[in-house]
Amino acid sequence: MYIVTGGAGLIGSNLVKALNGRGITDILVVDNLKNGVKFRNLADCDIKDYVDRLDFIARVKDGQSFGKIDAVVHEGACSSTTEWDGEFIMKNNFEYTKTLLHWCQEQKAQFIYASSASVYGMGPVFQEAREHERPLNMYAFSKFQFDQYLRQVKGSLTSQVCGLRYFNVYGPREQHKGSMSSVAFHFHHQILKGENVRLFEGTDGYGHGEQLRDFIHVEDAVRVKLWLLDHPDVSGIFNVGTGRAQSFNDVARAVVKYHGEGAIEYVPFPDHLKGRYQSYTQADISRLRAAGYDAPFMSVEEGVPKYLDWLTQHPA
């Protein structure tokens, strides 16, 4: 059995769908469906069972059996970067992940968990090393602290453990995220409403819309996960990005080109984001490549039209 926590979210549901594509349906999805619209991400997926996140961890702690576990892919977390209840964040993100790590070792199951590129803070170097890690909020700190914990215990591990530091993931099954959805999602809907595509004016020495991010299509992120599941001998903490930073203008132009209409409008940079905004991210993927992953990643020009095709076929 495969267990996917956060299985109704963006990356989790795409992983479930990809496992289905391999003929795998023996999947337990764990999530929090308080935001019930997330069910749509699983409506075309085939799974064995669903368990609420709190019920699941309680059953794990109680020693209840789930049968033979092949792998746990842990995507579930409170990902709000504005949540400052540190007690909640550390229990929900840090302690929860620690419990699953040790449980998977007991079960001799592969364990792949979501870390985050947010551990790097403002950068400017995005490489999996302690000297480059400067978390700026509780969410990032919870992810950073678990990575630190893993580094301490890695010598005693007997089955695969991988932490994946996602960069700017976009693609199908993210509609439930609302304001936290990708810029490609928002640009697409701005044009559908007859509005201009809106980008921030320049900041931190960058021109209007020229701030740079490492945008990775969710299909590419899922391919990395599938590769790791196929290579249980590979363990470690890995960046998951394309390795190439592209501008917000690149994303906007790709959306405008897809629709064949629309214009770009630059709006004043918000005061509350000054000094707290990542104007540049670019994953160093040399460690992932050294581990043997050699598949290419989609550029913005390739990935955005593919995503907009999906959005057109699956209107919210």
Judged against a pLDDT cut of 90, whether residue 271 lies above it is answered with no
Shared-domain flag, residues 291 and 268 = no
The question of whether 206 is a catalytic residue gets the answer no
So what's the pLDDT on residue 79?
Answer: 85
- Look up the CATH number of the domain holding residue 254: 3.90.25.10
User: Model confidence at 14, in pLDDT bands (50, 70, 90)?
Assistant: very high
The question of whether 193 is a catalytic residue gets the answer no
Shared-domain flag, residues 183 and 118 = no
Shared-domain flag, residues 183 and 79 = no
Shared-domain flag, residues 112 and 186 = no
Shared-domain flag, residues 124 and 235 = yes
Shared-domain flag, residues 78 and 142 = yes
Shared-domain flag, residues 30 and 154 = yes
Q: Give me the domain span that covers residue 272.
A: 170-212+245-282+301-313
pTM of the model: 0.95
So what's the pLDDT on residue 42?
Answer: 97
What DSSP assignment string belongs to the chain? -EEEETTTSHHHHHHHHHHHHTT---EEEEE-TTSGGGGGGGTT---SEEEEHHHHHHHHHTT---S---EEEE------TT---HHHHIIIIIIHHHHHHHHHHHHT-EEEEE--GGGGTT-S---SSGGG----SHHHHHHHHHHHHHHHHGGG--S-EEEEEE-EEE-SS-GGGGGGS-HHHHHHHHHHTTPPEEEEPP-TT--TT--EE-EEEHHHHHHHHHHHHH-TT--EEEEES-S--EEHHHHHHHHHHHHT---EEEEPPPGGGTTS--SB-----HHHHHTT-------HHHHHHHHHHHHHHS--
Shared-domain flag, residues 45 and 110 = yes
**How many domains is the chain partitioned into structurally?**
2
Judged against a pLDDT cut of 90, whether residue 237 lies above it is answered with yes
Shared-domain flag, residues 144 and 174 = no
pLDDT per position as a tens digit, 188-210: 999 999 999 999 999 889 999 99
Shared-domain flag, residues 120 and 238 = yes
Out of 139, 166, 170, 258, the active site residue is: 139
- Look up the CATH number of the domain holding residue 82: 3.40.50.720
pLDDT per position as a tens digit, 53-88: 999 999 999 999 999 999 999 999 988 888 899 999
So what's the pLDDT on residue 276?
Answer: 73
Shared-domain flag, residues 101 and 184 = no
Judged against a pLDDT cut of 80, whether residue 275 lies above it is answered with no
pLDDT higher for 275 or 192? 192
Out of 48, 177, 257, 306, the active site residue is: 177
Shared-domain flag, residues 131 and 96 = yes
